[in-house]
Every structure is written in structure tokens, then in C-alpha cells.
Amino acid sequence: MKTHMPNTISGFSKLSKSEKIEWLLETYFTEKDNARALVERYWNADDKLQKLHDEFIENTISNYYLPLGIAPNFLINDSTLAIPMAIEESSVVAAASKAAKFWLQRGGFKAKVLSTEKIGQVHFIYQGDTKKLEAFFKHVKPKLLSDTASITQSMERRGGGILDIKLRNKSADLPNYYQLHATFETMDAMGANFINTCLEQFAATFKSEALLYEAFNDQEKAINIVMSILSNYVPECLVHAEVSCKIEDLKSKDIPHPMEFAQKFKQAVDIAKVEPYRAVTHNKGIMNGIDAVVLATGNDFRAIEAGVHAYAAKDGTYTSLTHCSIENGIFKFWIEIPLALGTVGGLTSIHPLVKFALEMLQKPTAKALMQIVAVAGLAQNFGAVKSLTTTGIQEGHMKMHLMNILNQFEATETEKSQLIAHFKTNVVSHSSVVEAIENLRQ
């Protein structure tokens, strides 16, 4: 007997936006008018633009805003850029900007793309003689490529396409498990749809040709395709970014003793290399910068996160993504990181602010964007480690967070002005701000 659970609904996706909202309000909210007003307040006044946003995903009811900030003064390979960052966390944009300004006077950032190879796999089960499977793969490989010719022709005109297909025997890890491991070059596109379309054609050709292969017995002909999907782990889609200068050139207002600073900074990075508890937070700081630029440029930050963290653990232990050296009087700080990014296709072509962000970055190629994003992550990490090893992280972070606390307590502009002045010379904490607000209001 079918039962209807409370608060469930059938056919929700078929309702209009207003009907979806009304159902939500009736089902989950007590202050319905306030909730409705909040949802509608975040609609775009331009109906055409709002419709565009509504069609990005399914079941949309409103827009969820994130601040779009700008970190200026990034000198990257001798060109100066202002970098767009979409993020909600206090002090991230400030830290990136401060790091950019620091290195602007010390030669700036250098970056280069090491490789751009992306990966997709057809996972399948084969119960039979491995030697016969290897012979079949050698026989069918040309047809795998020819059957995708219509899919790849446009990409090939731009210089990309399928680089190679290999048969991998994974049966030692899982009984009867094999895969077609394919590598791709997707140029300025992130390439997910291109790769997945090619993989699904590989799977169809592989399965149908197996049925015709005379050397297979009936069991061997029945290759079971489990799935065909790109991998977000792209260890051969790598970019390198670095900063370096003479140790004495590190001297600044907040670095009075440059050698002492350099040594302590390197120790902090070295700790993140050997201590996973620290490495996770260390790398999270890197991703503060990376995710913010990835999101601002319409790329998939979840895919980037997954691939980056897998790369951080590629040698069996989770470790720092950044590295530091002090050699021959030179301080050097660098990152090597996998980034599969695109500047054409997806949201890059249709989201107005993404187009704005890419134009701000001088309409970069995918390789140029890889360099910019890696630099943003390195700058963010430099700023965080510099704060940790000098003033401590909370001094700057909590002063940036002060405004959030004041807004939480609905401080007036006059109160904000007085309290900001007060906390220029006092330690910021949530409790100290609350106490100051209460004292002011008394």
C-alpha cells in the first residue's frame, strides 16, 4: 500500500516558480509574507536576466548572492592584473591584495603551464582470458578513434582531441575489472561534455565490436560496461607558480628581520609537509584563493577541489601543496597544482558577471587562466603563512570580521564608525564587540 509522507510532493519540478514558492511557504514557514519578500528581494529587476539565472539549474526560486571582490596589483609574468574573487569569507580578498602588493615590489609572480592532459575512463567487467582482451583492444583501437571522428573534428581544428587510449588491467584491485584509460587535450574548454561524449562512444563501439570478435567465447563477448566518465583527478594538467627574492629584500614594515622571517616561514611550510592535520588547513587557505577565482570565472570549483586534494595525497600521505626553500641567500616559495579550467563553454559564455570577470583578466586562454588561478592560491597561502608566523592570524582576520558582527547586531552607521575607531587599538573578538555595542547603547 502506498503511503504519503508528510511534507513530500509529487511533480514539484512541473510547478511554476511562483507555485514552487507558495508550496514551500505553506509547508515550511510560519512568517510566510517575510519569507516571500526575502525570496523576491533577490530576484533581478531585469526579467530577461532573471530568466537566464532561473535556467542555470532546476527548481530555482531565487538568486543566492556572493560578493565579487577585486584583488589588484598582481604582477604575473611581467603583466599587471586585477583578479576577480567571488567569496564570502572575510579577509581573503584583503590577504590576496596585500600579498600582491608585497611581491609587486619584488619581481612579482612567475607562472608556467607544465602540461594540459585530461583523463576519462570507460570502466568495464570482463570475465575471460586477459591475453585475448589485450589482442582485442589492439584490434579495436583504430575503430574507437574512427567512430569518434565526428565528435572530435571541431576540437581537432582548435588543436585538441584524443591523445591516446590504453587498456588497463585493474583485476588485482577488483575481480574482472578493466578500463579504457583515455587522455585528451581540450584547449580553452574545460571539456567535460566533449570527454564524456567520446567515452560513451568508446563504450558503445567496444561493446558492439566484442560481440563480433571471433577469438572471444560467449562469456568473453559479453563485456559489461559499468560506466563511462571523465576524471576530475588530472595530475598531468599541471601549472607551476612561484615568487622569489633575495632574503634581505623581504625586509618591510612588518618583517624587520628578514632571515628570521624566512626561516620561520619555511618551518611553517615544512610542518604542513609532514603533519596532515596542519596540511589540510594549510591547503584550505590555498583553496580560499583558488576557489574564489574559479567561481568568479564560471568554472567548477568542486571539481578543482577534488582533484587538488587527491593530488596532495598522491604519494600516500596528505601533504602541503606549496613548497619553500632558502638557498644561496634566495627565498623561494612555489606551488605546483593540477587545474582543469576553461574559458569557453558553460557559464563562461552566458553568465554576465563571468564574462565581465574574464574581460577584466584580458580574455585569457585556458592556460593563462591556469596561471592566474595558481598565483591567486600561492598569494593567499603566502599571506596566511606570513600572518601566522608574525602577528598571528586572528589580528587581521577578526578586524575584517568586525563588520560582519556589527551587521549581525544591526549597528547604525554612527555606531559602526565609533566601534571601528575603538577596535583600531583593541583586540577584536565576538564577545568584546558585543560588550562594546552594549556599552555604547547604554
Would you name the residues annotated as active-site residues?
Answer: 89, 284, 300, 397
Residue 247 DSSP label: G
For the chain, how are helix, strand and coil distributed in percent, rounded to 5? Answer: 50, 20, 30
Decide: 279 and 320 in contact? Cβ < 8 Å: yes
On whether the CB atoms of residues 96 and 376 are closer than 8 A, the answer is: yes
**In 77-159, which residue ranges form alpha helices assigned H by DSSP?**
92-104, 130-146, 149-157
Give which of 58, 185, 73, 62 is closest to 120, Cα–Cα. Answer: 185
Listed in sequence order, the residues at least 6 apart from 181 whose beta carbon sits closer than 8 Å to its beta carbon are 119, 121, 165, 166, 167, 168
d(CA 382, CA 385): 5
C-alpha cell at 269: 611550510
Between β-strands 68-76 and 118-125, what pairing exists: parallel, antiparallel or unpaired? Answer: unpaired
**Coil, strand or helix: which one is 440?**
helix
Rounded Cα–Cα distance for residues 222 and 39 (Å): 53
Cα angle, residue 407 at apex, residues 401 and 413 outer, rounded to 5°: 110
Partners of residue 316 on adjacent β-strands? none
